[in-house]
Amino acid sequence: MEIADDARIDCSDESLELVKEMYTACDGTRAEEYVDYFGEDSRFRWGNFEPIQGSDGIAEFVGGFFDDIETLDHTFTGVYEADIADETPGDEKTTLVLESVVTYTLLDGTETEVPATTALDLDGSDTVVEARVYVDTSPVYET
């Protein structure tokens, strides 16, 4: 996990640290540690797959994907933060939009780079309540 030198950063230092920690676990292919950032009832949507509800299902999905690759490495080119207004006091949410280039090292050692954008909705305690991953990983499976 790295932040590109010319990355566009428009978020708090705390949110940027959260992204760094979360994606260090992701890039380390540690599914359980990555999923620790999600709430028990979180939703996760990867591309055009059906949404996954719950941290157990997310861990299973992400772990299965990690089994298909050797490593992955996110280079963030943009991190943006927006507070989401809610009519319910005390129910504040923040959305982080993460732009990156992801380098996948496949089981045969081949490297494939693809662009990706992820939107993370966080509750007031910085727990991910929903993640939407927009990426075309078909090149990972074409070799």
pLDDT of residue 30: 95
Of 21-25, 76-80, 84-88, give the lowest mean pLDDT range.
84-88
pLDDT of residue 86: 67
Give the other-Cβ count within 10 Å of 34's Cβ. Answer: 23
- Please write the tens of the pLDDT for every residue from 21-71: 999 999 999 999 999 999 999 999 999 999 999 999 999 999 999 998 999
Is 80:117 a contact under the CB 8 Å cutoff?
Answer: no
More confident residue, 87 or 19: 19
pLDDT of residue 19: 97
Confidence (pTM): 0.92
Give the other-Cβ count within 10 Å of 56's Cβ. Answer: 11
More confident residue, 44 or 86: 44
Residue 87 — very low, low, confident or very high, per pLDDT cuts 50/70/90?
Answer: low
Give the other-Cβ count within 10 Å of 120's Cβ. Answer: 24
Burial class (CB in 10 A: 0-12, 13-18, 19+), 97: middle
pLDDT of residue 129: 96
Q: Please determine, for residue 141, whether its predicted confidence score (pLDDT) is greater than 90.
A: no
**Alpha-carbon distances, residue 59 vs 74, 123, 139 (angstroms):** 19, 20, 23
Q: Select from 75, 79, 59, 82 the least CA-distant residue to 115.
A: 75
Could you give all domains of the chain from N- to C-terminal order, each with its CATH number?
Answer: 2-141 (3.10.450.50)
- Please write the tens of the pLDDT for every residue from 95-140: 999 999 999 999 999 999 999 999 999 998 899 999 999 999 888 7
